[in-house]
Amino acid sequence: MSVAKVIEISSVSPDSFEDAVRQGVARASKTVNNITAAWIQDQQVSVKSGQITEYRVLLKITFVLED
């Protein structure tokens, strides 16, 4: 039997939502083992002078707890 835990993280990219997700998962995996899934809970953009300046995602990261 395995038990999983879900944490919430925020990630930002100047390029795209996809890049923000990739960076968030990559960063989380440096300190969290056994990541099995990531769910995008929310997306936002920052706008300055009518242009998108950054893409933000709120991620729920699922990982299996070790015995």
Share of the chain above pLDDT 70, in %: 100
- Say which CATH number the domain at 43 has: 3.30.1660.10
Task: Please state the pTM of the whole predicted model.
Answer: 0.89
Domain containing residue 17: 4-64
d(CA 56, CA 46): 8
d(CA 36, CA 23): 16
pLDDT confidence of residue 2: 87
Name the band, by pLDDT with cuts 50, 70 and 90, for residue 1.
confident
Residues 6+ apart with CB under 8 A from 51: none
Beta-bridge mates of residue 35: 63
The total number of structural domains that make up the chain? 1
22 φ, ψ to 5°?
A: -60, -45
